[in-house]
Amino acid sequence: MSDRPGYRTVERPALTLADRLVFPAILKGMAITASHIFEKKVTMQYPEEKWTLPEYYRGVPSLVMDDENREKCVACSLCEFVCPPRAITIVPEERPGGGREEKQPAVFDIDMLRCIFCGYCEEVCPEEAIFMSKEYEVVGRSREEMVFHKDRLYEIGGVRKDPHRKWKNADDEARAQGRGHGHGPAQV
Amino acid sequence: MTTWPSWQPEVLSFLPAWLWKVICIFLVLQMPPILVSLLVWAERRVSAWIQDRVGPNRVGPFGLLQSVADLVKFVFKEDVVPGQVNRVLYSVAPALAMVPGLVTFSLLPFAERFMVSDLDSGLLMLFAISSLAVYGIQIGGWASNSKYALIGGVRASAQIISYELTLGLAAAVVVLFTGSLNLAEMVRWQSETRILGLLPAWTIFVFPGGTVAFVIFITSAFAETNRLPFDMPEAESELAAGYHVEYSSMKFALFFLGEYAAMIVMSGLMTTLFLGGWSLFGLERVMEGTIWQTLIQTGIWWAKTLFFLFVFIWIRWTLPRFRYDQLMRLGWKVFLPLSLANLLVAAWMRTWGMWGASA
Amino acid sequence: MPRLSIDGVEIEVEKGTTVLEAARALRKDVPHYCWHPGLSVAGNCRICLVEVEGMRGVQISCNLPAADGMKVRTSSDAAVKARADVMELLLINHPLDCPICDQAGECKLQEYSFELGSGRSRFDVPKNHKRKAVEFSDRVVFDAERCIVCTRCVRFTKEITGTDELTVVQRGDRSEIDTAPGKSLTGNYQMNVVDICPVGALTSADFRFRSRVWFMEQTRTVCSSCSRGCNVLAGTRWNRVLRLVPAENAEVNRWWMCDRGRLDIREPAAEDRLAGARLMRGGVQVGVEPGEAVAALAAALAEARAAGGAGLFGLVSARLTTEEAWLARLLLRDHAGSPNLDLLPRTGEADGFLETADRNPNTEGVRAAGIAPAVGGFGLDGFRAAAEAGRVKWAVLVGEDLSGRPEDLAALAKVPFTAFIGSHDRGAAATATVVLPGATWAEKDGVLVNGDGRAQRIRPLVRCPGDARPESRILLDLLAAAGAAGAPDPSSSPAFLVKAMAAAVPALAGLTLGGLGERGAPLRGRTGVARVGTGVEV
């Protein structure tokens, strides 16, 4: 093969008698492994010690409230649409109170047995209402328990301080223009 | 040669002989399960240490009760019997694999006055019984009616038959030196004989015949017990789990138990044949005739055996698995001629003197 | 006949045709909001701009009559730039509430904004805010902020319904649609304004927030609330029909449908749907396997047949498909020999627009299939007297439970053996000897013939609950169990059933399921099966 251009013959290393007897090599190997018995251990004692998670870590998806404890989600269902494993189920309903949001999720379920933690829901959310939390300990005793309902998702997400208040700003502007939110017949 | 009541420690001489025997049997019968569970724990801890990990340390002090947890798991696991198996043989095989490991315990001389049976043909008996383990493996592999299990079983039997030759020839060297097939007699010879009037004539020190025999024996012991680097019968990467791939729950646990019991017996045999058994530079003669002497001798014997068990684990986590053809080549083309030659050398030594060692 | 070229393609059109219509005939996509094929031209949204050679600037194509020799470019740079500018103006005050807007997904403003918009507003002053969630009526909700004042809805009430309820109030960027003070939208056609609204300004109170439109499966089928047979597009999700909107069919309903038909979507998901077969045993109905009920009914029909069939009364609903009616006739008349077959008429008041007096969707088809009293037999009118006289021994109700007709139910109670095959646990279902769970219009595949003799296909939208099955399947099983001669095989496909029926019934000769296409075909006086339709979409 060596006469072929681009090829190079690699000489096999000549084995010494010690190599051929094998046993010295075995003993050498045993010395190496034995030395590791006394090395410092790298194991992390998990429940007591935990990782410091990086900023970009994607844990359980969660819903957040704004700093006035109002639901940010308006049940637009884009996350339900974009979710690759179809883990999200949303049933919208009319939001009481007459804010400009009008809509809220009556049901917001994420099936954590289906969720693949891809983060598309966070990415697509136009209301910045769903965030991938740092929570990764997802356990349950039944399939039903592994479907996270709205209250649990809010519990994980909590309150997010966020200056972005689209709907409230619009409400304020409308009030300033003397045009409140109107249910009922027209006022000319 | 000797009637067995004489092995009773004097302090316990008020016991009827048969009762002492029953106590011996009872004590010895407790050894394999306890040791195996310890060994499983040790295997996992040592492997972890070698890999810079910690290993099981949660269940009980130092994780010592891990094996108990494992056992509970085994007991409560579903006993799946696949549909395609030969049900009778499938159920018998695990027992067949385990029983020889337990029976051979009765032949091991733990101390001068502590053994279940002191047979003049002890070594032959031990080889005869331990060879039966291959039936359990082969039958389990066949009865599973699965290609992985069958190949594993065939490999195991071929491997065990091949290495039994060299194992026997290496042991024959010891028989040649000590002039006895009685295991206790062999130990006594080793403890009482001196090399050049100094070193106790443990077979391993009787160079070159004894030393070479030891190397051949320990290597063959690995092959006999299907331990890495010779665990081809269960090679995970090729055969999933080999002969016990179709087994679950307690049936699997019995295979497991048999395998580890065989490992303990092999270690004990190496201690007895090559490392002077219960003897340790005269320590075995302290408090002659009391129960303490028996305890000390048992302790010495177990210390040596545990060392060999550690070596078993140590080797496993050091060396990669052989290829099957390499295993066979090593057995038939290297070790068989070598052990035959070694037997000649040993015979020559026996005739012309063994460094002054003589009984 | 002016001949013009659009994007280099020559077309000859009727005099008076607009450039937009000519372009649509060529399947050129010219954006439009205020223009609607069913309404007059307003020309106020300005998005349909095209460039015409020789004319200054760009022109709105919806109000530009096609002229001979005209050279139109619909997608020239100038036209597209002008449209993009119009979009920017339309979006100045349009709120960014697509996430909560029901129109999202089928919104022209959203689509063209995506196509033409910059994605960023150049206006940094606050948006002009208007009223939201104004209830124009209990069926229509209005959002003034989203409105682009295209006046489609205003023109609809002026031109189609003549009710003239909506108008534009205020001026400039304050303009919005409103009703007269204290008045609201009225009538049976008001929800059409929701359909024609190109944005999310007018939304249906019934469908509001029920589902995003892109999750729904859209199936073209036929409304079964009257004999008009309006073509509809049904939106289904979670095995439920969530809404019906009209589908264009120039021969039937054009672009409209009535609110009554539109809101008639509750029955398939009603609480009292029958999900299992039942059998009367010792005076109590007990649940049984469907096969057992079928066998029991077949045995009763064998008795009736042996008795000559005169004591058997069959009521076959005119809500069933034509094939089902035909199968019922095969079973009850041809096999069991009953001369007493009839349907239950439902009448209302014809409103002169779409809704007809006959509120059964398939009277024509069921009659054509042979459901009518034979000579010497009695119909529904004669049934009461016959039952009181004890002349009716067996009664089989297919698809009709007689609920709301106490006299008929009282007469039915005199009949020793009654069988009910139908969808709801009402009326006769409670007292029938045999109950077999059937299907509603939303679960069937088959042919309906409307009042004008037009055969149209309804399609299954959802699954039946439990053991319920379309009546055609139950009747096929009954025919097989009864050993009726000449009956189609129980595993026949819907298409095969139609074929077999067309071969057996002269009035329906030549009918095939596939031949009906999307828009159906007239049954009477046709030569072969013609596919009718203009191909125009809204």
pLDDT of residue B356: 58
Domain boundaries defined on chain A:
61-167
Q: How big is the A-B interface in CB pairs under 8 Å? A: 36
- What does the pLDDT average to over C445-467? 94
- The domains of chain B are located at 15-69, 80-351
Does some domain include residue C49? yes
Evaluate whether B284 touches B293 at the Cβ level (below 8 Å). Answer: yes
Other residues' Cβ atoms within 10 Å of the Cβ of residue A35? 10
Chain B residues in contact with A40 (beta carbon < 8 A): 52
- The shortest C-alpha distance from A49 to chain B (Å) reads 14
Report CB contact under 8 Å: C135, A103: no
Smallest Cβ–Cβ distance between A76 and the set C100, C127, C178 belongs to: C100
Domain A61-167 CATH assignment equals 3.30.70.3270: yes
Mean pLDDT, residues B273-293: 79
Nearest CB among A98, A102, A183 relative to C100 is that of A102
Q: With 90 as the cut, is the pLDDT of residue B244 above it?
A: no
Q: Which pLDDT score is estimated for B62? A: 84
C20 lies in the same domain as C155 = no
* Interface touch C129/A170, C-beta < 8 Å: yes
Q: How many domains, chain C?
A: 3
List CB contacts (< 8 A) between A104 and chain C. Answer: none
Nearest partner of C483 among C331, C369, C306, judged by Cα:
C331
- How distant is the Cα of A46 from the closest Cα of chain B, in angstroms? 11
> Cα C243 from chain centroid?
10
pLDDT at B248 over 90: no
Q: Are residues C150 and C199 in the same domain?
A: yes
User: Of C45, C71, C91, which marks where a domain is finished?
Assistant: C91
Minimal CA separation from B288 to chain A, in Å: 38
Question: Which pLDDT tens digit goes with each residue over A136-177?
Answer: 989 999 999 999 999 999 999 989 887 777 888 888 888 888
- Residue B2, pLDDT above cutoff 60: no
**C45 falls within a domain:** yes
Nearest-CB residue to A74 (from C100, C129, C135): C100
Same domain, C307 and C368: yes
| Pairing mode of beta strands C202-204, C394-398 | unpaired
DSSP B174-189: HHHHH--S-HHHHHHH
Residue B217 has pLDDT above 80, yes or no: yes
User: pLDDT class for B5, splitting at 50, 70, 90?
Assistant: very low
Give the containing element (helix H, strand E) for B318: none
Of the residues C70, C91, C112, the one at which a domain ends: C91
Q: Render C292-354 in DSSP notation, one character per residue.
A: HHHHHHHHHHHHHHHTTSTTEEEEE-TTS-HHHHHHHHIIIIIIT---EEE----B----SSS
Give the Cα separation of B100 and C268 in Å (integer): 72
State the average pLDDT over residues B46-62.
87
Contacts 24+ apart (CB under 8 A), B332-335: B332/B162, B335/B163, B335/B166, B335/B216, B335/B219, B335/B220
Give the contacts of C381 (CB within 8 A, at least 6 positions apart).
none
ipTM summary value: 0.80
From B5, B2, B46, B9, select the one nearest B298 (Cα to Cα).
B9
- Per residue in B315-339, pLDDT (tens digit) is 988 988 888 888 888 889 988 999 9
Residue B338 touches chain A, beta carbons under 8 Å: no
Task: Indicate if the pLDDT at residue B238 is higher than 80.
Answer: no
Separation in Å, CA of A73 to nearest CA in chain C: 10
Q: Which residues of A touch B314 (CB under 8 A)?
A: 30, 33-34
Q: How far is CA C349 from CA C252, C258, C264, in A?
A: 18, 13, 17
Distance (Å, rounded) from C-alpha C459 to C-alpha B239?
55
Name the residue in chain A with its Cα closest to that of C210: A92
* Helix H or strand E segment including C388: helix C380-388
Q: Which of C243, C269, C295 is the last residue of a domain?
A: C269
Reading across the β-sheet that carries C240-246, which strands appear in turn?
C217-222, C231-237, C240-246
Q: pLDDT category, C535, cuts 50, 70, 90?
A: very low
Q: Quick check: C451 and C354 in contact, CB under 8 A?
A: no
Quick one: A28 exposed, middle or buried, by C-beta within 10 A (0-12, 13-18, 19+)?
exposed
Provide the β-strand partners of residue C51: C58, C73
> Is there a domain that residue C105 lies in?
no
With a cut of 70, list the residues of chain A below it in pLDDT: 1-2, 179-188
State the average pLDDT over residues C72-93.
92
Query: For the whole prediction, is pTM greater than 0.80?
Result: no
- Whether residue C406 is preceded by a cis peptide bond, meaning omega within 30 degrees of 0, is no
- Reply yes or no on whether the pLDDT at B196 is more than 80: no
**Nearest-by-CA chain C residue for A79:** C99
In chain B, residues with a C-beta closer than 8 Å to the C-beta of A36 are: 49-52
Q: Provide the residue range defining the domain that includes C431.
A: 277-522
| Spatial distance between the Cα atoms of B257 and C122, rounded to a whole number of angstroms | 79
Residue with tokens 């044949």: B273
Same domain, C209 and C309: no
From the list C97, C127, C214, the residue facing A173 with the nearest CB is: C127
Q: Judging by beta carbons within 10 Å of its beta carbon (0-12, 13-18, 19+), is residue C351 exposed, middle or buried? A: middle
Nearest-Cα distance to chain A for B50, in Å, is 5
Q: Examine the pLDDT at C451 and tell me if it is beyond 60.
A: yes
Residues with Cβ within 8 Å of C69's Cβ and at least 6 positions away in sequence, in order, are C3, C4
B140-189: pLDDT as tens digits: 888 888 888 888 888 888 888 888 889 999 999 888 888 888 888 888 88
In terms of domains, do C226 and C361 share one?
Answer: no
Q: Report the pLDDT value the prediction gives residue C198, as an integer from 0 to 100.
A: 95
- Asked if C45 and C187 sit in the same domain, the reply is no
A21 touching chain B per CB within 8 A: no
Average pLDDT over chain C, rounded to an integer: 91
In a domain, C244, yes or no: yes
pLDDT, residue B1, reads 36
Please tell me which of the candidates A32, A33, A42 has its beta carbon nearest to residue B53: A42
Query: Are C183 and C166 a contacting pair, CB within 8 Å?
Result: no
Name the residue among B48, B215, B318 with its Cβ closest to that of A33: B318
Q: Could you tell me which chains touch chain A, where touching means 3 or more CB pairs under 8 A?
A: B, C
If asked whether residues C252 and C289 sit together in one domain, one would say: no
DSSP string, C351-374: -SSS--SB--TTHHHHHHTT-SPP
**The pLDDT of residue C531:** 35
Main-chain dihedrals φ then ψ at residue C174, nearest 5 degrees: -90, -5
Residue C385, in any domain of the structure: yes
In chain C, which residues have their Cβ closer than 8 Å to the Cβ of A126?
A: 98-99
Provide the pLDDT for residue B73.
87
User: Rounded to the nearest 5 degrees, what angle is found at the Cα of B90, between the Cα atoms of B87 and B91?
Assistant: 90
**Closest Cα partner for B188 from B129, B118, B125, B124?**
B118
Asked if residue C172 has pLDDT above 90, the reply is no
Query: Do the Cβ atoms of A29 and B319 come within 8 Å?
Result: yes
Mean pLDDT, residues B53-60:
85
B263 by Cβ neighbours in 10 Å (0-12 / 13-18 / 19+) ranks as buried
Task: Tell me phi and psi for residue B125, to 5 degrees.
Answer: -60, -45
Nearest to C182 among A127, A181, A185 (CB): A185
Other C-beta atoms closer than 10 Å to the C-beta of A33 total: 19
Q: Over the Cα atoms of chain B, what is R_g? A: 21
Residues of A in contact with C100 (CB under 8 A): 74-76, 101-103
Q: List CB contacts of B183: < 8 A, sequence separation 6 or more.
A: B107, B108, B109, B118, B122, B123, B126, B272, B277
Q: Is the peptide bond before C361 cis (omega within 30 degrees of 0)?
A: no
Contact A37 B215 (CB under 8 A): no
Angle, helices B249-274 vs B66-76, to 10°: value is: 140
Query: Is residue C526 pLDDT above 70, yes or no?
Result: no
> What's the confidence (pLDDT) of residue C236?
95
Give the pLDDT of residue A184. Answer: 40
The dihedrals phi and psi of A170, each to the nearest 5 degrees, come to: -65, -40
Confidence label for C366 from pLDDT (cuts 50, 70 and 90): very high
| Residue C397 covered by a domain | yes
Q: Residues C257-295: pLDDT tens digits?
A: 999 999 999 999 999 999 999 999 988 999 999 999 999
Tell me the average pLDDT of chain B: 83
Instruction: For residue B278, give the nearest of B123, B112, B117, B122 by alpha carbon.
Output: B112
Residue C485 has pLDDT above 70, yes or no: yes
Same domain, yes or no: C323 and C298: yes
Same domain, C219 and C286: no
Place of tokens 């009918």: C511
